[in-house]
């Protein structure tokens, strides 16, 4: 009798699994057709979005309990370390205010110096994708890439990072005899803009160029148009972004330019290049920022990835390869 019951349970479980797999296959097939027909995306770009959706990457931003749990978890995260064997470039390491700064180089005669500020909602360590693009910039664009491991929230706030990055940038200006470029993605992109606004306040010169991937321009997420992209974005959600942004801001108002640079003075910025996808929650603010730059007469260009996700130039997809060619062209512009 027990065996019969167990067999019935087993058959029922197999049936449920079969139904779930069938639903997943139907969804995947339908999503892939739409991806090709509507957004004209590559197979790899489609797979990347499917991965983010299936893996539940967005949960720590969209689910209140998971978000708070993640913030608590990050308080006890271990110290981040780079394994130099994962990159082709020569890597040197220094420290600034007790924080490590890596420089990736491919030659003794670089054509430019790049200060790269990584993303991660001001709470996550650098990822393998950040290291890959820094390595690629050194190798393919003959750049010396300076990569600071800046202090992260929730244990640190914006001011410690500004102090550190200012010292790194001053040193670059003092030693560089080639153009100095600031690059950043997501939170690192927002940090790049805020830092450049801050440079005007402290009387330091602007970088020759600024190249940004999906910069997070407003930690208060106050643009009402962002809600229209909430479901399309497979990675980010306004709730978690605001909560992590509060940790980063510390005592600052969430609309202070040092944490939300879209509210700052952008008139002194120069040569700003933006990359953004149409399937990400930051799309409205990035395009708004581009319009603001034009209104201020700041030389700027925007590269819109139709159907692309957040920070798409970082991922192993054909569209990212095209973006990298555009980045190289930007670096070579006089």
**The predicted structure's pLDDT at residue 5:** 59
Kindly state the helix (H) or strand (E) to which residue 148 belongs, with its residue range. Answer: strand 143-148
Give the mean pLDDT of 55-72. Answer: 97
Q: Over 80: is that where the pLDDT of 126 sits?
A: yes
Q: Over 90: is that where the pLDDT of 25 sits?
A: no
Please choose, from the candidates 319, 332, 314, 329, the residue with its C-alpha nearest in 3D space to the C-alpha of residue 132: 314
pLDDT tier for residue 27 given thresholds of 50, 70 and 90: very low
**The predicted structure's pLDDT at residue 225:** 98
Residues 72 and 183 in one domain: yes
Q: Over 70: is that where the pLDDT of 222 sits?
A: yes
Helices assigned H by DSSP within the chain: 2-37, 43-55, 59-62, 64-74, 128-140, 158-175, 187-202, 238-249, 283-295, 318-332
- Count of structural domains, the chain: 2
Q: Collapsing DSSP states into helix, strand and coil, what is residue 274?
A: strand
Q: Over 50: is that where the pLDDT of 291 sits?
A: yes
| CATH (domain of 102) | 3.40.50.1820
pLDDT tier for residue 204 given thresholds of 50, 70 and 90: very high
**The predicted structure's pLDDT at residue 26:** 42
Q: Over 50: is that where the pLDDT of 250 sits?
A: yes
Residues 118 and 78 in one domain: yes
Residues 35 and 73 in one domain: no
User: Mean pLDDT, the chain, as a whole number?
Assistant: 91
**The predicted structure's pLDDT at residue 107:** 95
Cα(137)–Cα(327) distance, integer angstroms = 9
Q: Over 80: is that where the pLDDT of 3 sits?
A: no
Give the mean pLDDT of 102-127. Answer: 97
183 within 8 A of 113, measured Cβ to Cβ:
no
Residues 160 and 308 in one domain: yes
Kindly state the helix (H) or strand (E) to which residue 103 belongs, with its residue range. Answer: strand 99-105
From 59, 89, 107, the end of a domain falls on 59
**The predicted structure's pLDDT at residue 24:** 43
Cα(131)–Cα(103) distance, integer angstroms = 11
pLDDT tier for residue 139 given thresholds of 50, 70 and 90: very high
**CA dist 281 → 87, 232, 258 (Å):** 31, 8, 21
Residues 171 and 54 in one domain: no
**The predicted structure's pLDDT at residue 43:** 93
Cα(34)–Cα(49) distance, integer angstroms = 13
Cα(13)–Cα(5) distance, integer angstroms = 12
Q: Over 70: is that where the pLDDT of 67 sits?
A: yes
> Helices H, strands E: what count in the chain?
10, 8
Domain that holds residue 19: 2-59
Residues 169 and 48 in one domain: no
Residues 105 and 219 in one domain: yes
Neighbouring residues of 230: CB distance < 8 A, sequence distance ≥ 6: 237, 238, 281
Please choose, from the candidates 87, 85, 86, 118, the residue with its C-alpha nearest in 3D space to the C-alpha of residue 101: 118
Residues 186 and 282 in one domain: yes
Q: Over 70: is that where the pLDDT of 95 sits?
A: yes
From 25, 59, 93, the end of a domain falls on 59
168 within 8 A of 117, measured Cβ to Cβ:
no
Neighbouring residues of 197: CB distance < 8 A, sequence distance ≥ 6: 257, 258, 261, 264, 265, 266, 268, 269
**The predicted structure's pLDDT at residue 217:** 98
User: Strand 209-213 to strand 143-148: parallel, antiparallel, or no bridges (unpaired)?
Assistant: unpaired
């Amino acid at each position: 009798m027990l065996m019969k019951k167990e067999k019935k349970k087993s058959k029922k479980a197999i049936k449920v699994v079969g139904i779930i797999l069938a639903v997943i296959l139907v969804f995947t097939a339908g999503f892939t057709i739409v991806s090709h027909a509507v957004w004209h995306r590559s197979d790899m770009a489609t797979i990347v979005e499917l991965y983010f959706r299936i893996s539940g990457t967005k949960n720590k931003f969209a689910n209140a309990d998971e978000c708070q749990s993640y913030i608590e978890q990050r308080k006890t995260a271990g110290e981040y370390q780079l394994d130099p064997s994962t990159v082709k470039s020569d890597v040197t390491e220094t420290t600034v205010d007790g924080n490590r700064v890596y420089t990736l180089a491919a030659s003794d005669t670089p054509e430019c110096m790049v200060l790269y500020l990584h993303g991660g909602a001001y709470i996550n360590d650098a990822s393998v994708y950040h290291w890959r693009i820094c390595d690629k910039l050194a190798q393919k664009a003959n750049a010396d890439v300076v990569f600071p491991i800046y202090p992260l929230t929730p244990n640190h706030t914006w001011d410690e990072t500004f102090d550190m990055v200012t010292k790194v940038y001053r040193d670059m200006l003092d030693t560089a005899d080639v153009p100095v470029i600031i690059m950043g993605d997501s939170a690192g992109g927002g940090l790049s803009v805020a830092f450049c606004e801050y440079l005007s306040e402290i009387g330091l010169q602007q970088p020759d160029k600024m190249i940004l991937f999906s910069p997070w321009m407003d930690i208060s997420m106050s643009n009402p148009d962002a809600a229209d992209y909430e479901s399309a974005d497979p990675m980010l959600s306004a709730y978690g972004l605001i909560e992590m942004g509060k940790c980063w801001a510390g005592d600052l108002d969430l609309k202070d330019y040092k944490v939300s640079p879209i509210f700052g003075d952008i008139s002194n910025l120069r040569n700003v290049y933006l990359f953004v996808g149409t399937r990400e929650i930051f799309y409205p603010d990035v395009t708004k920022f581009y319009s603001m730059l034009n209104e201020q007469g700041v030389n700027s260009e925007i590269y819109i990835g139709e159907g692309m996700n957040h920070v798409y130039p970082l991922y192993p997809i054909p569209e990212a390869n095209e973006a990298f060619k555009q980045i190289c062209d930007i670096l070579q512009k006089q």
